[in-house]
Structure 1
């Protein structure tokens, strides 16, 4: 016998948690990220706003979480369909997401880690240009890991606009870039 966890959404509708997602709303009001509240098999349960904050900021840590909370970032539980509709909208605010422009660093580009499963809320990191020139189909096995300015290590990184446009940046990478200028 299995149990279904029902939650009441802001519109008053009760739904199984497995049909819901947490959306990340930026200071401007636009949605920048989404994560499943519970897998269909009942695992990976993220039933509270506190659990959503903890899960989303697992790698970046408490400092990035505090920065984003102070800036006005919020989490809200919605149905999957509504969440994906909101995420597909383009933020047209200036500056985008209601945040200052990304700092730059010589020899580095903002890129997203290409880890799987891919997290729709992944933040961008500053990665050396050498990591972006790797031919993944003809690289040695095992492939080397490349490290971002903040220390995050991944084999594959993408600086393609479809991966980077509109994504929020890593606080540690930002600080290191600002210190270098």
Structure 2
């Protein structure tokens, strides 16, 4: 199919209702016609290349919103998060992005490099990801029914779990608390 050809969800080019031996909705997706029975929505979705955003903008069918509406929704989600003060030590990241900052200096440098004011950046406090504890159920498929681990293995598992529990965070992921940083 030509990439510049736009077929809207609502258009007659995306689906057709035909009465053959099988009566129902058929998608018109350029390769073959697929039968969808009474499911007009799926026939139209399979046959279209674009849809209409709630604001009226045209977007590729894999998206539910245009860029402007997505940006507004992200800003609203961020604004609804509880606000906490950043101590400058715990990592923060840009909401919906992949930029992480481990101290205020690196954040201010990033702002300067990108020509933005620190208070205009939507930051969230990161949550730590700790190593998972090992459970003896890990070997349940290897043991006979109602079987238990050998004492030597169980002691080793317990020791490993102590080490894992004492270990600090292995990584960080975006949290659910927003942070405003003023320069």
| TM-score (ref. length: structure 1) | 0.26
Structure with greater contact order relative to length (CA < 8 Å, sep ≥ 6)? 1
| TM-score (ref. length: structure 2) | 0.26
